[in-house]
Chains A and B, each alone.
Chain A
Amino acid sequence: MKNSILISTLIFMSLFVVFHSAFAQDTLKQNKFENAAANHKCLKCHEHRFYTYYNDLSDKNVIRRMNPFYVIDSASFYKQNHCTFQCVDCHDADYAKFPHNGQLQMEEMPTCIDCHEGDENTAKFHFENIYKEYKASIHFKEFGSNFSCWLCHNPHKYKVTARKSKDISKVIIYDNEMCLSCHSKEINFSVLSDSAPKNMIAAHDWLPNQKLHFQHVRCLDCHAKVQNGTMVDHDILPKGKAVKKCVNCHSKNTFLMATLYKFQSRRHRSKFGFLNATILNNSYVIGANRNYILNVVSVVLFALVIIVLIIHGILRIIKK
């Protein structure tokens, strides 16, 4: 009897867990797409390269090419950080009318700090520090207000990775693509520059084992000023100030612990250094990866050999 009560309780509890998680997922989905219907009014044109409208003057349906910078991939939109947003949360509600009013072009777009400054929910990400670092960066110094957060963090696609991903290699690919989307892609580079982007491979010719470096570190790790105020450094340095000394990373107090591995190192820091961390699964940095036990064992063995040889030598001299 006792057993059957126990079994039915267990069945009830497991059913509750199953239903509860299904329900929880459902609410999440609902939240994610809660503004999908409203957003569709914009996306029905803006998610396509071509859009169709009815031209009153010519009394015809006209197919037009969309400005490629205004094409929004809806699949990426609903996976990104601000997926629950309505288009009109950031853009003027008057965009609902077509053709759009030309004056709307003059609206000031909000940037990260406009919403996140003083926001208690995001206080731990230190948006104020990010903004301060960004203001000191070469991007802001060179282009002022023509540069903005959105040029790197595409507002319709941007998804936090460094903080959430356990796989460093994915973080590296994601972050580097952010830089390369302009610095090796002419169409985006030409938004701010008349010249073509430099060939990144040729520009880094001096770097030994270039491929390995590109696969295992981020552009940021050499090209941003190492600071403590944020988890990802935002003060992008001018070319001449980038890290070029091997020993900055290839050493015991490697820069990488304060840059690329900042998240991991805070989780796994221990006396035995890198070895027990997840870091080694992905890469090996000579000079930085040290094994405490092996170091001690080798020094002891080395000292023992020298001591034995010295004693042998002394005995030979004494017995001469």
Chain B
Amino acid sequence: MEEKIYLYPVWVRVWHWLNALLFFLLVFTGLSMQYAAKDSHLIPFNFSVTIHNICGIILVINFLFFAFANRFTWNGKYYKIQLKGYGRDLWKQIKFYSWGIFEKEPHPFPVTKERKFNPLQQLSYVIAMYLLLPLIIITGLGLMFPELTLTVLFGKSGIWLTDLFHQFLGFFLTIFWLIHLYFCTVGKTATSNFKSMIDGWH
């Protein structure tokens, strides 16, 4: 039996599951507001607004904690992309997921203490955590404090443009979330990655 690695310290697990819970609540309350209707079976509008606002604020704190902890612990190094040979490695991983995985080929970049993420995972996590999340937070704060948002931009309502961008980001983060959930089943067994995120051992 392969030796287990302790990969997810307590703070990563707490941050991760809190992030997951907030994500879940934000997506559903966000959809309930966007598709609000008088006879809707979604979450009631005013309740959605309250939950969305509270979760949004906790998300900001959780994100700042994550960025701060990554800056000062070894966990941050997993997010640093080494540009040399990166394109080739990325292609190798894409080929594995679209072909090799069905042919029982070994994982091209198995998880080690030095490399938690495969190149594709690394790219998607960096985009999600360091690009999409900060942008969705900034646009969200702009909507929470509309007096800070430009009233009119290019002859259109600044709030409308901000919200359109916020929803656009929300949509791509939801797509990320779906793919993330699916690829969590690509472990040794379908549930082993979920277990790792609970007990910390990979």
Contact = CB atoms under 8 A, between A and B. Distances in A.
A251 B38 CA distance: 7
Contacts of B164: 291, 294
A253 B159 CA distance: 21
Contacts of A298: 171
B157 A282 contact: yes
B106 interface: no
B23 to A, nearest CB: 16
Contact of B102 (A286, A302, A315): A315
B83 interface: no
Contacts of B178: 305-306, 309
A312 B185 CA distance: 11
Contact of B179 (A250, A252, A284, A309): A309
Interface in B154-202: 155-157, 159-160, 163-164, 171, 174-175, 178-179, 182, 185-186
B174 to A, nearest CB: 8
Interface string B27-56: 000000111111010001110010000000
Interface string A243-255: 0011110111100
A253 B38 CA distance: 8
Contacts of A287: 33-36, 45
A281 B152 CA distance: 8
A144 interface: no
B101 interface: yes
B38 A284 contact: no
A284 B33 contact: no
Contacts of B45: 245-247, 250-251, 287
Interface string B107-146: 0000000000000000000000000000000000000001
Given A209-B146, A305-B175, A306-B178, A250 B33 contact: yes
Given A211-B147, A247-B45, A250-B45, A284 B163 contact: yes
B62 to A, nearest CB: 24
> In terms of DSSP, what is the predominant structure of the interface of chain B?
helix
Contacts of A211: 147
A246 B49 contact: yes
A182 to B, nearest CB: 29
Could you say which of B35, B36, B104, B178 has the most chain A C-beta atoms within 10 Å of its C-beta? B36
Contacts of B175: 301-302, 305
A39 interface: no
A286 B157 contact: no
Contacts of B102: 315-316, 319
A71 B34 CA distance: 51
Interface in A272-320: 280-284, 286-287, 289-291, 294, 298, 301-302, 305-306, 309, 312-313, 315-316, 319
A287 B49 CA distance: 11
B2 interface: no
Contact of B156 (A245, A280, A286, A305): A280
Nearest to A319: B102
B38 A248 contact: yes
A250 B157 contact: no
* 5 A-B pairs closest in CB distance: A284-B160, A287-B36, A319-B102, A247-B45, A246-B45
Interface of B: 33-38, 40, 44-46, 49, 97, 101-104, 146-147, 152, 155-157, 159-160, 163-164, 171, 174-175, 178-179, 182, 185-186
24 contacts: A212-B146, A246-B46, A247-B40, A251-B37, A252-B36, A252-B37, A253-B37, A280-B160, A281-B156, A281-B157, A282-B157, A284-B163, A286-B33, A287-B33, A287-B34, A287-B36, A290-B34, A294-B164, A301-B171, A302-B174, A309-B179, A315-B102, A316-B102, A319-B103
